A and B are shown apart, each in its own frame.
Chain A
Amino acid sequence: MLQRDSSFAKEALRYGLIVLVLGFIVFPIFWMIVTSFKPAADIMVSPPRFLFTPTLENYYHAIYDKNFLFYIKNTLFISVASTILVVVAGSLAAYSFARYNVGDGHILFFILSTKMFPAIAVILPYFLIFRDIGKTDAGRFLGIGLDQPGALIISYTMFNLPFAIWLLVSFFQDIPRELEHSARLDGLSRLKVLRKVVFPLAAPGIAVTGVFTLIFCWNEFLFAYILTRKAASTVTVGVESFFTLQGILWGPVAAAATISVLPMMVFVLAMQRYMVRGLTFGAVRG
């Protein structure tokens, strides 16, 4: 009897602690979503109000007055374009590393070391180079000057490739070689093997890598902040536009933040099984 009581107490303590930890983790996000539905009069009050009549006025303000969907549109275009480039170039390279072991690991190591690269170290040259390219006709035509989507697409492709290649290599290594061998013996060319055997088998891994890349692009701030002013700004920079002379409009900020964060949360929840693997570049298979 005593034994059972103490183990019950232990369980209760354990779950109590877990609830506390989860509360700390979830609360800021929860409060952000709650604030986004608060009327303006209930936001800047002390003590904070927990009961209020929910309203959509903050969303209205963010979408109509601040044109926040414009930033969503930019972000979507830039993130999707970068993701496609990363996934295509990354898959080809990763397959080559996984199967042919090009460069005997040295090239792969070099690629990983560019991941250590602090973005800030190249941001000034990027700024100057894109500024100069933007002044040329070709640059204007391709949209790769400052405050144009091309500049961000190039930056995001570069900065996500190393991670994507590492993650993809781990997925390609999971595919049994024998299948490719027999396809080759059946007379398929190497490209056909790639298209008809390898890529279909690696599709889940490629999709996971794509979603991770999309999330990283979507949430990126430094490049977006420095390489854009307005026309090509993404959500992370757009939220900053709610700083006004009268102070920060917390209600609309919360609404805009909720709009920009929610799609990524859905992705992350859907990808949960691969979270650990993705976040460690495929090193921990979780």
Chain B
Amino acid sequence: MSQSLSVSLPQQRRASGAVISDRWFSILLIAPAMAVILVFALLPLVYALNVSFRFADLTRGGIGDFVGLDNYRRVLADRAFWASVGVTVKFTLAAVILEMVLGIAIAFLIHSATKGKGIIRSLMVLPLATSAAVTGLFWRYLYDTQFGLINYFLGLLHLPQPNWLGDYTIALWSVVLFDVWQWTPFVALIALAGLQALPKEPFEAAELDGASTFRVLRTLTFPMLKPVLFLVLVLRTIDSVRLYDAVAVLTRGGPGTVTESMTFYLYRTGLKLFRMDYASTMAIFFLYAMLVASLFALTPLLKQFSNRASEG
């Protein structure tokens, strides 16, 4: 793989004042970063794992006795927990599918444009600069049933004006719509970059052969875009499963608990109801699910990355 930079001649080694080997040098370089990651990622994990086997109610004296698997059994039997998993799955599926489809469509649309690509791209990156917590808060004003612009426009078109954040059947979709607004440009930008990086020759050859647009898309464009699209899919899915900010500022889990995502339920259990044991157990479940998922999602990605690393 990558060759080291050591200079093999002994006298030059002395001349350059190398007192340590390449190996030690390289380990010293990663030491600070690894220390931070190991201490601040693994330590809290061990802590959470420990708390998940104990009784820990902050309103009743903090971390208490060892209770074995009780918390795990309780979480698995908890309807609210499964409801929050359901919300998370629904949100993730809806948001990711919409963002991928719309994002790819927009990428094709912009790719075919002849003029103004620079300006188009500049405008598209804007939502990515904003925090979901800040713009999400403002979206509440847009969604407002009385003063909101969205319902005003719908009214002009004589369309029904839903209670975006207050209606049980709609609230989650309103959160999805906000997420789609913020993240579709992200998918579009990356898909666009993928499109622009495609080699020209195969497409010219296909045109000479008189292949139909559909066939070119199916046999050339999409297969060649696949790695990029897969990467975007993974990144968006990871983010969506962690949904918190948008729920916190738009609905606070309501109305009732219909928009309560897993992360929001976990937060509420741990820091509103102060059941650290219970919340930590959910965190462990969550982490476990992410690890299993990452085995499937990351392995192909890693292959792609390491192929590139060995080229570099």
Distance of A15 Cα from B142 Cα, bound (Å): 26
CB distance from A220 to the nearest CB of B (A): 8
B110/A28 in contact, CB under 8 A: no
Q: Which residues of B contact A18 (CB under 8 A)?
A: 109-110, 113, 120
In the bound complex, do residue B128 and residue A257 qualify as a contact, i.e. CB atoms below 8 Å apart? no
Known contacts A29-B126, A90-B33: A190-B5 contact under CB 8 Å = yes
Collect the chain A residues with CB atoms within 8 Å of residue B3's CB: 177
Number of cross-chain contacts by CB at 8 Å: 320
Chain A 229-245 near chain B by CB (<8 Å), digits 1 or 0:
00000011101100000
Contact of A240 (CB < 8 Å), options: B44, B109, B137: B137
Q: Which residue of A lies closest to B25 (CB)?
A: A190
The contact of A127 among B34, B142, B248, B271, by CB within 8 Å, is B271
- Chain A 239-283 interface residues, beta-carbon cutoff 8 Å to B: 239-240, 248, 250, 253-254, 257, 260-261, 264-265, 267-269, 272, 275-276, 279-280, 283
**Which of these binds chain B: A38-46, A52-60, A135-143, A199-207?**
A38-46
Contacts A125-B48, A284-B231 hold; do A173 and B309 have CB atoms under 8 A apart?
Answer: yes
> Which positions 85-124 of chain A face chain B at CB distance < 8 Å?
85, 88-90, 92-93, 95-102, 104-105, 107-109, 111-124
A102 & B27 in contact (Cβ 8 Å cutoff): yes
Inter-chain contact A184/B122, CB cutoff 8 Å: no
A96 CB contacts on chain B under 8 angstroms: 25-27, 29-30
User: Hey, what's the 0/1 contact readout for B297-309 against A, CB within 8 Å counting as 1?
Assistant: 0100110111011
B34-72 contacts to A (CB < 8 Å): 34, 36-37, 40-41, 43-45, 47-48, 51, 63
Partner of B149, one of A31, A114, A120, A279: A31
Chain A residue numbers with a CB within 8 Å of B217 are none
Chain A residue contacts of B197, Cβ below 8 A = 284-286
Report how far A189 CA is from B18 CA in the complex, Å.
6
Residues in A with CB closer than 8 Å to B112 are 14
Given A96-B30, A221-B248, also A101-B129 (CB < 8 A): no
Choice from A123, A158, A275 contacting B125 with Cβ under 8 Å? A275
Does A210 make an interface contact (CB < 8 A)? no
Q: Which of B16, B129, B140, B141 has the most CB of A within 10 A?
A: B129
Contact size class for A? 35 or more
B133 close to A236 (CB less than 8 A): yes
Dominant SS among interface residues on chain B: helix
Q: A221-B131, A257-B138 are in contact. Are A125 and B125 (CB under 8 A)?
A: no
Q: A92-B30, A96-B30 are in contact. Are A28 and B129 (CB under 8 A)?
A: no
- A119, B228: Cβ atoms closer than 8 Å: no
Contacts of B135 in A (CB 8 A): 28-29, 32, 257, 261
Q: Does A74 have its Cβ within 8 Å of any Cβ on chain B?
A: no
- Interface size classification for chain B: 35 or more
A154 contacts partner chain B, Cβ-Cβ < 8 Å:
yes
A9 to chain B, nearest CB (A): 14
Task: Answer yes or no: A165 CB below 8 A from chain B CBs.
Answer: yes
With contacts A121-B283, A226-B267, A284-B194 known, is A184 near B141, CB below 8 A?
A: no
Give residues 18-35 of A contacting B (CB, 8 Å).
Answer: 18, 21-22, 24-26, 28-29, 31-32, 35
Contact of B147 among A44, A95, A173 (CB under 8 A): A44
CB-based contact B109/A17 at 8 Å: yes
Which of chain A's residues have a CB closer than 8 A to the CB of B18? 189-190
Q: Measured between C-beta atoms, what is the minimum distance from A112 to chain B in Å?
A: 7
Return chain A residues, CB-CB under 8 Å to B34. Answer: 93, 107
Q: Provide the residues of chain A in CB contact with B286, threshold 8 Å.
A: 118, 120-121
Chain B 13-28 per-residue mask, 1 if CB under 8 angstroms from chain A, else 0: 0011110001101110
Residues of chain B lying within 8 A (CB to CB) of residue A189: 16-18
The proximity string for A residues 129-165 relative to B, scoring 1 for CB distances below 8 Å and 0 otherwise, is 1000000000000000000000000110110011001
Q: Is B104 an interface residue (CB 8 A)?
A: no
Residue of B nearest to A44 (CB): B147
Q: Which residues of A contact B308 (CB under 8 A)?
A: 173
Q: Which of A17, A24, A114, A257 contacts B181 (CB 8 A)?
A: A24
Q: Which residues of A contact B10 (CB under 8 A)?
A: none
Q: Which residues from B are CB-within-8-Å of A190?
A: 5, 16, 18, 22, 25
13 contacts between A and B (CB under 8 A): A26-B126, A108-B305, A118-B263, A120-B267, A124-B48, A126-B44, A157-B40, A158-B36, A184-B5, A187-B15, A221-B131, A248-B137, A284-B190
Q: Apart from A127-B271, A173-B308, what are 14 other A-B pairs with CB-CB below 8 Å? A: A15-B113, A18-B110, A88-B32, A92-B32, A100-B26, A116-B291, A120-B283, A121-B45, A124-B279, A173-B309, A261-B129, A275-B189, A283-B304, A283-B305
